[in-house]
Amino acid sequence: MSIIERPLPPLNADERTTLESWLDFHRATLARKCEGLDDEQAAVAPVPPSGFTLTGLVQHMAEVERNWFRRVFAGEQAPPIYDPQADPNGPDGGFELAEGATLCDALATWHAEITHAREYCVDRALADTGRFMEQDVNLRWIYVHMIEEYARHNGHADLLRERIDGTTGV
């Protein structure tokens, strides 16, 4: 039985509430996919030849949160978390696990990035912009992109979790 709450987004709400609720729904979905796993299970790449793991996926989503909300939207100079030598303007990494990487640490980092994202967005309008690829990008677009990013990766997480311990539908 899952203890991580995942409320259904409201069926009839304003645009901002709808977008933020769906983003939070998908964030909670990823957390639920990891719930109850130990570090060894979450570090298993259960679908050869892929090296894809749940810990790596959580690390990646921490990088994605950091990139879109801190770097792009807020304009912060925030270096990559999991590969400090990587180009901060390059693709979001985090998939590879460093020696000693744990699910607990990855989740803590991810939750910290979500907290930063919420702080940056709380007083901003959906039409407010950041810069991406030398163009303005508004918060509305970022929210939609983040929902898409989580939805795609939550599908991956479904398959990984099922292969790890048979759990489905969480």
Cα separation, 140 vs 49, whole angstroms? 37
**110, pLDDT greater than 80:** yes
**162, pLDDT greater than 70:** yes
Cα separation, 27 vs 89, whole angstroms? 23
Please, are residues 33 and 17 in contact by the beta-carbon 8 Å criterion? no
| 170: number of Cβ within 10 Å | 17
pLDDT band at residue 98 under the 50/70/90 scheme: confident
Above pLDDT 70, what percent of the chain? 93
Cα separation, 168 vs 98, whole angstroms? 28
Cα separation, 129 vs 114, whole angstroms? 19
Q: Per DSSP, what are the bridge partners of residue 130?
A: 137
Q: Assign 161 to helix, strand or coil.
A: helix
**130, pLDDT greater than 70:** yes
Q: What is the mean pLDDT of residues 18-29?
A: 97
Cα separation, 71 vs 89, whole angstroms? 9
pLDDT band at residue 74 under the 50/70/90 scheme: very high
Q: What is the mean pLDDT of residues 148-161?
A: 96
pLDDT band at residue 84 under the 50/70/90 scheme: low
Cα end-to-end distance, the chain, whole Å: 9
Cα separation, 6 vs 4, whole angstroms? 6
Among 70, 14, 6, residue whose Cα is nearest residue 34 = 6
pLDDT at position 50 is 86
Above pLDDT 90, what percent of the chain? 78
- Return the structure tokens found at 2: 């899952």
Class of domain 15-165: mainly alpha
| 30: number of Cβ within 10 Å | 21
Q: Assign 135 to helix, strand or coil.
A: strand
pLDDT at position 47 is 82
pLDDT, tens digit (0-9, with 9 covering 90-100), for 25-53: 999 999 999 999 999 999 999 888 888 89
pLDDT at position 89 is 60
